[in-house]
Structure 1
Amino acid sequence: MVREQYITSTEESGAPAAVLDYIYKIGIYGWRKRCLYLFVLLLIIILIVNLGLTIWIMRVMWFNAEGMGYLQVTADGVRLEGESEFLFPIYAHEIDSREDSALLVHSTDNVTLNARNANGDVTGSVSVGPGHAQAFGQHLNVSSNTDKTVFYADAKEAVVGTGKLRVTGDEGALFEHSVETPQVKAEPLKDLRLESPTRSLSMEAPRGVHVKASSGNVEAQASLDVILHSTEGLVVLDAESVRLPNLFKGIARTSGDSQGLYDMYEVCVCPSGKLFLSKAGVFSTCNESQEC
Structure 2
Amino acid sequence: MGQLKIIPHGVQLTGQTLIMDLLRASSIRSKHGQPITIGKLNVPEQEFWKPYLPEKGKFVKSSRNFSINTRDKKGKLQNHLYLGHDKFECLTSGGFRITNSTGKKLFSVNQNEVFIGVPTLRIEGDGGVLFHESIQTSHVRADPGKDLK
Same fold (TM over 0.5): yes
Name the CA distance, whole Å, in 2 between partners of 1:100 and 1:181: 47
1:106 shift after superposition = 3.2
Match of 1:135 among 90, 109, 115: 90
Q: Deviations over 1:79-138 (max 9, x none)?
A: 456654223324343323789823654333321111111222211111122332221122
1:155 CA drift (Å) = 0.6
Do 1:142 and 1:152's aligned partners in 2 also have CA atoms closer than 8 Å?
Answer: yes
Secondary structure, aligned partner of 1:108 = coil
Q: What 5-or-longer segments of structure 2 have no aligned partner?
A: 3-14, 41-52
Q: Contact 2:68/2:80 (CA < 8 Å) preserved in 1? A: yes
Q: Under a length normalisation based on structure 1, what TM-score does the superposition of the two structures give? A: 0.33
**1:155 is matched with which residue?**
111
Larger helix percent? 1
User: Percent of aligned positions with the same letter in both sequences?
Assistant: 18
Gaps of 5+ in 1: 1-65, 68-74, 184-208, 221-292
Go from structure 1 to structure 2 and tell me whether the alpha carbon gap of 1:78 and 1:156 turns closer, same or farther (over 3 Å shift). Answer: same
Give the secondary-structure state (helix, strand or coil) at the position aligned to 1:134: strand
* CA displacement, residues 204-226 of structure 1 (integer Å, 9 cap, x when unaligned): xxxxx5x4553x24264xxxxxx
CA contact (8 A) 2:82 2:90 kept: yes
**Aligned amino acid, residue 152 of structure 1:** S
| Conserved? CA contact 2:142–2:148, under 8 Å | no
Q: After the TM superposition, which residues 24-39 of structure 1 pair with which residues of structure 2 at under 5 Å, given as runs?
A: none
Correspondence for 1:218? 147
Higher relative contact order (CA 8 A, sep 6+): 2
How far 1:153 moved relative to its partner? 0.7
Q: 2:61 aligns with which of 85, 101, 106?
A: 106
Q: Does the C-alpha gap of structure 1 residues 135 and 180 become closer, same or farther in structure 2, counting only changes over 3 Å?
A: farther
Task: Give me the whole-angstrom Cα distance separating, in 1, the residues matched to 2:138 and 2:55.
Answer: 39
Which one of the candidate residues 107, 121, 146 is aligned to 2:76? Answer: 121
Give 1:171's aligned residue. Answer: 126
CA distance in 2, matches of 1:213, 1:103: 43
Structure 1 residue 151, shift from structure 2 partner: 1.4
Q: Distance in 2 between matches of 1:81 and 1:157?
A: 45
TM-score, normalising length: structure 2: 0.57
Cα RMSD after superposing both structures: 3.6
The amino acid of 2:74's aligned partner reads N
More strand per residue: 2
Opposite residue 86 of structure 1, the aligned amino acid is: A
- Cα distance in 2 for partners of 1:79, 1:107 equals 19
CA pair 101-117 structure 1, distance change in 2 beyond 3 A: same
- For residues 1-292 of structure 1, what are the structure 2 equivalents within 5 Å? 77-80=16-19, 83-91=22-30, 92-96=35-39, 101-102=56-57, 104-138=59-93, 139-167=95-123, 169-171=124-126, 174-177=129-132, 178-182=134-138, 211=141, 214=144, 216-218=145-147, 220=149
Structure 1 residues 172, 123: closer, same or farther in 2, change over 3 A?
same
Aligned-residue offset at 1:164: 2.9
Cα distance 1:83–1:163, how it changes in 2: closer, same or farther (>3 A)? farther
Q: Distance in 2 between matches of 1:130 and 1:86?
A: 18
